[in-house]
Structure 1
């Protein structure tokens, strides 16, 4: 045995699955059709050309018959074998493994293989997908981080795509409380994208799991990311959308989740914020409106019976009892407003207001941003 690990198949058992996944143009749907017919990939490579072409196009049938002589495929297999041997943190999970998530396996386009770096057990545990804008507002980033910290403490694995913005905030929320998080990539698991997330990638690899269906070395390609979203939603019990424009990849993830029978959650926002419009659209179409992490937990509770940590209503929303603070919060709403506007609307003298605003910012109630202040809770 070349790769020894109690949670993985040996190399000879992995080989048929890997070879099938590397056939150019075959894809998961046609692969699934072949496996349904022949029961196991190992049977495919002993099948005749005529048997294969009755199910798939002749060109693909020819590639399958000649896969063992294809130098490109053999080179990729050698690279994968070397990668597996390099670290016990490296794994490949196939549909015949007990680690392959049952819900993911039921998809008509389920991945033929999953490359994993980190804790491979996490991909079978209860997960919540979290998606949103790559350019969120400060409030959106804060909400994503705090929601995911609370949800992670309650026992959910936070799953996202390691993109800029909301994805990163979601992973950071889970990591910040030493919770579990999974990053589903649109590249090979050996690629860091975006490059500025090198540190985040390393943290997830060491404390969570990096997952992809794409072969090692696969670079960022626009078409890969919508495809990977079906895995993100397929792994999850539901998908939470934090901020999203109307034309947004996050809405694709939400649509896929709904089609897969997963719950869709959306956080509402200001009507003046373009990044709220995607969430409002989802809510109009039937997504669950959530105002706190507990709304998500209550909705998912029937599916989490016996596996979720006990939770109590969130205490992160501070009760403001100071009359001046209450007045400031009342006039602020959730939009960016200047100190002058707050002073005018609240009737609080500017000198007195400056002290109140400083205290509220130190307490994490508001945040200073371009153009003034924004409420955080």
Structure 2
């Protein structure tokens, strides 16, 4: 769905100072990025929160509350604007009552919001954060766009929290890429009878860190001075 009015999109190239250094850890960093929002956020410390589009009510609550708590500690929450966990994480960050922001990496051009029901959320993120895509305006969502989006999420983050993921899911792609890049990987466990817990349990078996509370994540990541977003 196209936005109601054409956003003020800018393009940055890999050889320019604004290009985020963390993306250069990728073997195939984007040649350029399209940005809608405050570009100064790109180099602040980020934690990715990803998970199922068909998340349970508990998964939605976990995404929202972890995003709130981590935002309050000075981290930007980054996710993919998808239904379920992604949307809840963005909303939790925006409602943190700390004036903090969130970053959404999109699987379409930034003048097209997908899914369509997240138009209002995308506008709220642009007003208080940043929308990012390597896809030019006018390009709609395609299945192969999302794994490429996920590699950007993984590279920009310092750590990745997976909340509810099936055994084959885009969230596990993000976690695998993050592990290859040396990012910290966290997972929330669930019932052995829930198919959406199997991906998280697989990550834990492979060495991801158990996240029972935001404190478990904060203990593993570097301490950062809380940024003052009033001046950003």
Separation in 1, partners of 2:151, 2:69: 25
SS of 2:65's partner is helix
Question: 2:70 matched to which residue of 1?
Answer: 151
Question: 1:206 matched to which residue of 2?
Answer: 127
Stretches of structure 2 lacking an aligned partner (at least 5 in a row): 228-232
Question: 2:145 matched to which residue of 1?
Answer: 224
Question: 2:104 matched to which residue of 1?
Answer: 183
**C-alpha offsets along residues 306-359 of structure 1, whole Å, 9 cap, x if unaligned?**
4347xxxxxxxxxxxxxxxxxxxxxxxxxxxxxxxxxxxxxxxxxxxxxxxxxx
Question: 2:86 matched to which residue of 1?
Answer: 167
Greater Cα shift, 163-172 or 260-269: 260-269
Q: TM-score, normalised by structure 2?
A: 0.91
Question: 1:121 matched to which residue of 2?
Answer: 40
Q: Shift of residue 208 of structure 1?
A: 0.6
- Return the index of the structure with the highest Cα Rg: 1
Q: Shift of residue 232 of structure 1?
A: 0.6
Aligned residues, how many? 221
Residue 307 in structure 1 maps to residue 228 in structure 2: no
- Superposition CA RMSD, Å: 1.5
Residue 101 in structure 1 maps to residue 25 in structure 2: no
SS of 1:190's partner is coil
Question: 1:247 matched to which residue of 2?
Answer: 168
Q: Choose from 127, 130, 136 the match for 1:215.
A: 136
Separation in 2, partners of 1:188, 1:307: 33
Q: Shift of residue 97 of structure 1?
A: 2.5
Greater Cα shift, 92-101 or 102-111: 92-101
Contact 1:104–1:235 (CA under 8 A) maintained in structure 2: yes
SS of 2:220's partner is helix
Residue 136 in structure 1 maps to residue 74 in structure 2: no
Residue 292 in structure 1 maps to residue 210 in structure 2: no
In the TM superposition, what are the counterparts of 1:215-364 in structure 2 within 5 Å? 215-301=136-222, 304=223, 306-308=224-226
Separation in 1, partners of 2:34, 2:115: 19
**C-alpha offsets along residues 244-272 of structure 1, whole Å, 9 cap, x if unaligned?**
01111111111111111111110111112
In the TM superposition, what are the counterparts of 1:186-197 in structure 2 within 5 Å? 186-197=107-118
Contact 1:233–1:257 (CA under 8 A) maintained in structure 2: yes
**C-alpha offsets along residues 226-256 of structure 1, whole Å, 9 cap, x if unaligned?**
1111001010001110110111111111111
Greater Cα shift, 89-98 or 154-163: 89-98
Separation in 2, partners of 1:97, 1:295: 36
Q: TM-score, normalised by structure 1?
A: 0.57
Q: Greater relative contact order: 1 or 2 (C-alpha under 8 angstroms, separation 6 or more)? A: 2
Separation in 1, partners of 2:154, 2:18: 17
Contact 2:162–2:186 (CA under 8 A) maintained in structure 1: yes
Contact 2:9–2:110 (CA under 8 A) maintained in structure 1: no
Stretches of structure 1 lacking an aligned partner (at least 5 in a row): 1-82, 310-377
Separation in 2, partners of 1:308, 1:118: 20
Contact 1:134–1:167 (CA under 8 A) maintained in structure 2: yes
Separation in 1, partners of 2:141, 2:15: 29
Separation in 2, partners of 1:128, 1:279: 17
Contact 2:25–2:181 (CA under 8 A) maintained in structure 1: no
